[in-house]
């Protein structure tokens, strides 16, 4: 389960992670009012969709007047934003985040993910903030710092200081980074997250660390015990067929092929998709009806799959 940037930042505040002051709005008038309330001379207007690469797609606008804030919000809200992660169809922008612009003197990357091979939470950091971490890892892997957390003891202070030192943070910034990392780790652990990414983690005003952008995804299977997090789910950002399928207890993921798949068991479903691809076909979906499926469940599966006009 994914959430919006503004929701991620609200969560991070609860774990004492510093984030910029901002307001989420749904129209241009409220965007201008939000900028007036926050004050300042420059603002950032950021489209809120479940996709990365918003800056490359024109979804992040830096402006220097209240009228420019209004115009930027008006241009974004109601548009379809195309980024490297949305595909050519783009995503409908229904809200924007208005924040005070920051005086940035340094940018870093920090992320936490679940390393299934080691069965540990792993922290990944880099001095190359503001860039795609996948590209950094490919082109300059020596710039990537990794640190594995032992679940028996949690994230330790010496690990935080080691990470901070290896990405070039010193003095007071090292202490701030250690506190920030501990907050990120608690947020990751206590919300059943699968991935938490801060990019960039910025040095502002020369002496203060702030999470300028944040992205969090969660383990959907754990949301029954994380109701506060589950309430953040935005169904408008998800495929309507996937939303309906989850309501019927079906594991469904839409794809771009034309062969509909209805399979009993996740492993067999993956093998079926592999077999289709091996014979130069393209599956239209992944669908696991689960063990002991009832006639009603199978019927719902057929109906959802056949709603896809690409299924031949």
**By the 8 A CB rule, do 198 and 110 touch?**
yes
**3 state DSSP class of 219:** coil
Tokens 């010496």, located at residue: 158
Pair type for strands 208-211 and 80-81: unpaired
Q: From the candidates 109, 147, 185, 252, which is the catalytic residue? A: 109
Catalytic annotation present for 185: no
Q: Within a 10 A sphere around the Cβ of 89, how many other Cβ atoms?
A: 8
**Helix (H), strand (E), coil (C) string for 142-182:** HHEEEEEECCCCCCCHHHHHHHHHHCCCCCHHHHHHHHHHH
Q: Are 23 and 65 in contact (CB under 8 A)?
A: no
Q: What is the distance between the alpha carbons of residues 246 and 134, in angstroms, rounded to a whole number?
A: 31
Shortest CA distance to 251 belongs to which of 266, 229, 231? 266
State the catalytic residue, choosing from 5, 99, 147, 197.
197
197 among known catalytic residues: yes
| Catalytic residue IDs | 109, 197
């Amino acid at each position: 389960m994914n959430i919006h940037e503004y929701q991620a930042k609200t969560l991070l505040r609860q774990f004492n992670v510093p984030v910029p002051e901002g307001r989420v709005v749904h129209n241009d008038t409220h965007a201008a009012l939000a900028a007036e309330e926050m004050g300042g001379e420059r603002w950032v207007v950021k489209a809120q969709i479940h996709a990365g690469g918003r800056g490359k797609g024109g979804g992040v606008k830096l402006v220097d007047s209240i009228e420019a804030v209004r115009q930027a919000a008006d241009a974004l809200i109601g548009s379809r934003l195309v980024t490297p992660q949305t595909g050519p169809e783009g995503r409908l922008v229904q809200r924007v985040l208005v924040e005070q612009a920051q005086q940035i003197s340094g940018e870093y990357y920090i992320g936490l993910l679940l390393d299934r091979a080691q069965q540990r939470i792993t922290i990944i950091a880099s001095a190359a903030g503001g860039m795609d971490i996948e590209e950094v890892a490919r082109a300059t892997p020596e710039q990537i710092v990794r640190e594995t957390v032992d679940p028996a003891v949690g994230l330790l202070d010496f690990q935080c200081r080691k990470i901070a030192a290896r990405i070039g943070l010193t003095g007071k910034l090292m202490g701030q980074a250690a506190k920030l990392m501990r907050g990120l780790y608690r947020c990751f652990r206590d919300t059943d997250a699968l991935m938490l990414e801060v990019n960039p983690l910025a040095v502002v005003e020369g002496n203060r660390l702030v999470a300028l952008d944040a992205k969090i995804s969660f383990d959907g299977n754990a949301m029954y015990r994380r109701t506060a997090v589950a309430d953040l789910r935005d169904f408008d950002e998800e495929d309507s067929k996937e939303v309906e399928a989850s309501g019927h207890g079906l594991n469904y993921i839409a794809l771009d092929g034309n062969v509909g798949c209805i399979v009993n068991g996740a492993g067999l479903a993956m093998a079926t998709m592999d077999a289709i691809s091996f014979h130069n076909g393209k599956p239209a979906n992944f669908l696991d009806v689960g063990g002991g499926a009832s006639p009603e469940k199978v019927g719902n599966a057929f109906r959802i799959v056949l709603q896809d006009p690409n299924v031949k």
